[in-house]
């Protein structure tokens, strides 16, 4: 190749490589996926696209199936109800509530709302009877029959909560920040605080919470002060499922878990620091079981070790969804949903699936009933013996032959009831008396 041509080609190649770099390729890819804003040259953060009912078919239809009961484990704020500036303003949309109420009436559906709110507050906000409510990330669980589970708290922390509440109110509750008292938990809210003072205020609140002996957990524009107990939404989920469906719950039900917060990640995947004993779940006198690589100890006499996990919990045993507006949010969930409207679509899909399941069941029952009726009609056999003047059971062949002989010997048979028996034998359940 001549040198001038080679130089020309190399210059063109370098120019093309410079224009079509990785950033350009990424912009084109995101634009093709519909994740960029028209008119802006720079790529915007990836935005989740709206979902439709049919989007859940491939993922859920085979998993949910038609043979198992379905357990719906749902968060409240940011999942069922859109996030709001104040917890009292986070109201569940009427349409979502109506779908939940209808689902609660299905005999094959079990619903549990697992929230960071106080259990009485989340029940009041949802307002549906006959379902399970778990508050304070599962520390309090209210069952449909009215029974209540409360995870035991160290006695000294009952007074520490009051002291921490007062300290937070005195030192960091300013310029829109406030503390929510949930009983065994406290939540420091700073959503209304100006952005320029948030870092210092949040750091001070976290230090106060840790110095008081509590665990500081991050939430949506809030810091939660949790007591140092081995309990969270994941362990509460396992407790609820086990209490409701027994030790073999993983074989009997299908599970859908939906949440929007980092606290929901505990339910989607749990990991423990150690395993108390290799025989957990196999010891006589406990309710524990060992399954699919999970090590569970659910002895109610030992509530501090109510559920100890080796490896993962619901991961692999449930369809998990994280509500997040962007793909860049890190999660262990199997799928993402863009917003609370997508959660409503998911619930509608479940309702549609259950209706189709009932229709298939009804069609199968009707067909089975017709088949039984058709076969049952062949078992109605009687004959009349004119010599003895009495009806006696005979074999099917003899019975039908006698009836044919009797009807063929006389145009006006003296025993019309034989005609009636023969006609009913042919027509099954249709009573023909002509």
**CA-to-CA separations, 253 to 64, 72, 248, 343, in angstroms, rounded:** 9, 10, 9, 21
The number of beta carbons lying within 10 Å of the beta carbon of residue 277 is 13
Number of structural domains the chain divides into: 4
pLDDT at 205: 96
pLDDT of res. 230: 85
Dihedral sign (CA 289, 295, 297, 298):
negative
What residues in the chain have per-residue pLDDT under 50?
Answer: 36-45, 271-312, 377-384, 386, 388-434
- Cα separation values, 22 from 28, 271, 374, Å: 10, 37, 71
Q: Is residue 144 part of a domain?
A: yes
At 142 the pLDDT is 97
The tokens describing 22, both together, are 């990785």
**What is the pTM assigned to this prediction?**
0.68
Contact call for residues 268 and 333 (beta carbons, < 8 A): yes
**Same domain flag for 133 and 174:** no
For residue 51, which of 384, 323, 354 has the smallest C-alpha distance?
323
Same domain, 240 and 167: no
Q: What are phi and psi of 146, to 5 degrees?
A: 95, -15
**Domain-embedded: residue 286:** no
- Cβ(330)–Cβ(269) below 8 Å: no
Q: What string of DSSP letters covers 100-132?
A: HHHHHTSTTEEEEEE-SS-HHHHHHHH--TTSE
Whether residue 373 is contained in a domain is answered as no
* 297 within a domain of the structure (yes/no): no
What pLDDT shows up at residue 36?
A: 47
The C-alpha atoms of residue 127 and residue 104 are separated, in whole angstroms, by: 12
Instruction: Supply 250's token pair.
Output: 């993983």
Q: pLDDT tens digit string along 292-335?
A: 333 444 444 444 444 444 334 687 789 999 999 888 888 989 99
* Structure tokens, 88: 């009292």
What CATH number is attached to the domain comprising 173?
Answer: 3.30.70
Cα separation of 140 and 117, whole Å?
10
The enclosing domain of 336 has a CATH number of 3.40.50.1000
Are residues 211 and 94 part of one domain?
A: no
Q: How far from each other are the two terminal CA atoms of the chain, in whole angstroms? A: 105
Domain of residue 404, residue span: 383-427
- Do the domain assignments include residue 39? yes
pLDDT of residue 379: 46
- pLDDT on residue 210: 95
Domain identity same for 255 and 130: yes
Instruction: Please state, in angstroms and as integers, the Cα–Cα distance from residue 86 to each residue in 106, 124, 177, 180, 265, following that order.
Output: 33, 16, 11, 10, 23
Helix (H) / strand (E) element for 392: namely strand 390-392
Pair 131, 250 in one domain:
yes
Given 191, 225, 259, the domain boundary residue is 225
């Amino acid at each position: 190749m001549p040198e001038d041509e080679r130089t020309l080609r190399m210059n063109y190649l370098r120019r093309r490589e410079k224009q079509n770099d990785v950033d350009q390729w990424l912009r084109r890819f995101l634009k093709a996926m519909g994740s960029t804003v028209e008119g802006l040259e720079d790529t915007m953060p990836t935005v989740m696209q709206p979902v439709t009912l049919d989007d859940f078919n491939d993922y859920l239809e085979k998993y949910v199936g038609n043979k198992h009961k379905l357990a719906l484990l749902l968060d409240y704020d940011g999942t069922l109800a859109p996030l709001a500036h104040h917890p009292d303003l986070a109201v569940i949309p009427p349409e979502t509530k109506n779908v939940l109420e209808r689902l609660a009436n299905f005999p094959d559906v079990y619903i549990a709302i697992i929230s960071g709110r106080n259990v009485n507050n989340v029940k009041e906000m949802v307002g549906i009877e006959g379902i399970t409510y778990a508050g304070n990330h599962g520390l309090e669980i209210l069952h449909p029959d009215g029974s209540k589970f409360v995870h035991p708290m160290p006695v000294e922390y009952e007074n520490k909560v009051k002291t921490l509440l007062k300290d937070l109110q005195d030192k960091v509750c300013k310029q829109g920040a406030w503390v929510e008292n949930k009983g065994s938990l406290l939540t420091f809210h700073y959503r209304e605080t100006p952005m320029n003072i948030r870092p210092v205020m949040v750091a001070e609140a976290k230090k106060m919470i840790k110095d008081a002996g509590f665990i500081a957990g991050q939430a949506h524009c809030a810091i939660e002060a949790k007591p140092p107990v081995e309990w969270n939404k994941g362990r509460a989920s396992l407790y609820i499922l086990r209490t409701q469906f027994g030790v073999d719950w993983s074989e009997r039900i299908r599970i859908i878990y939906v949440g929007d917060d980092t606290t929901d990640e505990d339910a989607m995947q749990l990991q423990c620091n150690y395993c108390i004993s290799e025989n957990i779940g196999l010891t006589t006198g406990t309710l524990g079981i060992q399954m699919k690589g999970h090590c569970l100890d659910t002895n109610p006499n030992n509530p501090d070790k109510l559920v100890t996990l080796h490896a993962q919990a619901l991961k692999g045993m449930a369809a998990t969804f994280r509500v997040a507006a962007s793909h860049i949010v890190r999660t262990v969930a199997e799928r993402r949903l863009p917003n609370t409207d997508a959660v409503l679509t998911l619930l509608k899909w479940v309702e549609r699936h259950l209706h189709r399941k009932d229709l298939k069941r009804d069609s199968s029952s009707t067909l089975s009933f017709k088949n039984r009726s058709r076969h049952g009609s062949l078992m109605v056999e009687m004959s009349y013996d004119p010599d003895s003047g009495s009806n006696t059971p005979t074999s099917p062949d003899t019975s039908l032959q006698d009836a044919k002989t009797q009807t063929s010997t006389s145009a006006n048979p003296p025993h019309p009831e034989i005609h009636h028996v023969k006609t009913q034998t042919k027509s099954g359940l249709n009573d023909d008396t002509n």
